[in-house]
Amino acid sequence: MKSTSPLTLGEFIIDKQADFQYSSGELSRLLSAIRLASKVVNQQVNKAGLVDIIGAMGNQNVQGEEQQKLDVFANEVFIAALNNREVVCGIASEENEDFIDVRTGENSQKSKYVVLIDPLDGSSNIDVNVNVGTIFSIYRRVSQDGPVQLEDFLQPGNKQVAAGYVVYGSSTMLVYTTGNGVNGFTLDPALGVFYLSHPNIKIPTKGKIYSINEGNYIKFPQGIKDYIKYCQEEKEGRPYTSRYIGSLVADFHRNMLKGGIYIYPSYSQSPKGKLRLLYECNPMGFLAEQAGGKASNGFQRILDLNPVELHERTPFVCGSSEMVEKVEEFMKNAERNEKS
Ligand code: P6P
């Protein structure tokens, strides 16, 4: 008899384990650790306005950004969940300058996986109650046994075995891929259970939403300026709508469901843009491609970039495939004009 209740995330992970090339059960346990941590963080995010957990700790993280208490809390929760279950051998986080070797127990000594994480993206929105999110990226280690090495983390995005995000908002969702499509799960807060609510998500090939911080317009490369003007023209179904929350996970999630494009370009003060390649752009790029979309740095596929530093930045253009292609067209034309 067909089950009437929707699949839970736990059931889904087990069901799909067989799809996964390396199905030893370890990746399933890793995803379950992330599931647990996201519930713990969600509980604090949802009551952040009620307890004295808002407000900067007076510290700064490795990015030199004011560290919100929830940033620190989320980082500790995810590291603890992954560490305690001994499902990974190494972790890199936006909140930590160096990667962490977590081969503490017998099992983690044998673990094949490393995780890179942005534990609470969009944290500047925490105290104004706007959606924030967690982003994670999972690789198989490339070094042999023994201590994890920097090379285990500096892998191109096309080597990811899984990636996903949690968006903490009006409802909390966990969205992830293991390379066989993208599925979204919504948390029932009363039961503490994630249910499959968005099976096999596909990004529309084009949309009418563009997400970019237009306050930086005068600093943008010419190709981006040209694309913004294109979005605003009154023809061929335009102007598009500008929607920018200031939280990558929230903007990406909306654009993935409705169609649209998110752009964080290079600009004069930051020639590599703002977003981090390893734990923001690669996981979101993997998800976008698995959902039929695209992710680029304006000129080439994000997942083909070869990282050289743990916290390196990259310009980021991601979302509906035809919209990303149009940005790349403007970028190439502008570059050609500048050279001529
Ligand atoms: P800006 C949040 O700090 C973040 O990394 C993304 O989540 C967000 O899209 C972007 O930066 C916002 O940056 O410069 O527009 O405020």
CATH label of the domain that carries residue 260: 3.40.190.80
Residue 26 inside a domain? The answer is: yes
Structural domain count, the chain: 2
Confidence of residue 106 (pLDDT cuts 50, 70, 90): confident
Residue that finishes a domain, picked among 198, 224, 254: 198
Residues 281, 317: Cα–Cα separation, whole Å: 9
Confidence of residue 104 (pLDDT cuts 50, 70, 90): confident
Residue that finishes a domain, picked among 172, 198, 224: 198
Q: What is the mean pLDDT of the chain?
A: 92
Nearest alpha carbon, ligand 1 atom 9: 248
Q: Which two tokens stand for residue 309?
A: 């530093």
Q: Do 158 and 265 reside in the same domain of the chain?
A: no
Q: Do 173 and 220 reside in the same domain of the chain?
A: no
Q: Which residue out of 248, 277, 318 has the highest number of ligand 1 atoms within 8 Å of its CB and is therefore the one to mutate? A: 248
Asked if 126 and 54 count as a contact pair (C-beta separation under 8 A), the reply is yes
Buried residues in 295-321 as b, exposed as e (16+ CB within 10 A): bbbbeebbbebebeebbebbbbbbbbb
User: Which residues have any ligand 1 atom within 6 Å of their CB?
Assistant: 121-122, 124, 213, 246-248, 274-275
Is the pLDDT confidence value at 93 over 90?
A: yes
* Pick from 151-160, 266-275, 280-289: least confident: 266-275
Q: Do 21 and 168 reside in the same domain of the chain?
A: yes
Q: Which residue has the higher pLDDT, 146 or 49?
A: 146
Is the pLDDT confidence value at 203 over 70?
A: yes
CA of 245 to the centre of ligand 1 (A): 9
Nearest alpha carbon, ligand 1 atom 12: 246
Q: Which residue range(s) make up the domain with 314?
A: 209-339
Cβ neighbours of 52 (radius 10 Å):
7
Q: Which residue has the higher pLDDT, 112 or 22?
A: 112
Asked if 207 and 259 count as a contact pair (C-beta separation under 8 A), the reply is yes
Nearest alpha carbon, ligand 1 atom 13: 246
Give ∠ CA 6-10-14 in degrees, rounded to 5.
105
Q: What is residue 1's predicted lDDT score, i.e. its pLDDT?
A: 56
Give the CATH number, domain containing residue 66.
3.30.540.10
Q: Which atom of ligand 1 is nearest to the CA of 245?
A: 9
Residue 203 inside a domain? The answer is: no
Taking only the tens place, the pLDDT of each residue in 281-294 is: 999 999 999 999 99
Buried residues in 257-284 as b, exposed as e (16+ CB within 10 A): bbbbbbbbbbbeeeeebbbbbbbbbbbb
Is the pLDDT confidence value at 188 over 90?
A: yes
pTM of the complete model:
0.94
Q: Which residue out of 67, 124, 247 has the highest number of ligand 1 atoms within 8 Å of its CB and is therefore the one to mutate? A: 247
Q: Which residue out of 94, 121, 166 has the highest number of ligand 1 atoms within 8 Å of its CB and is therefore the one to mutate? A: 121
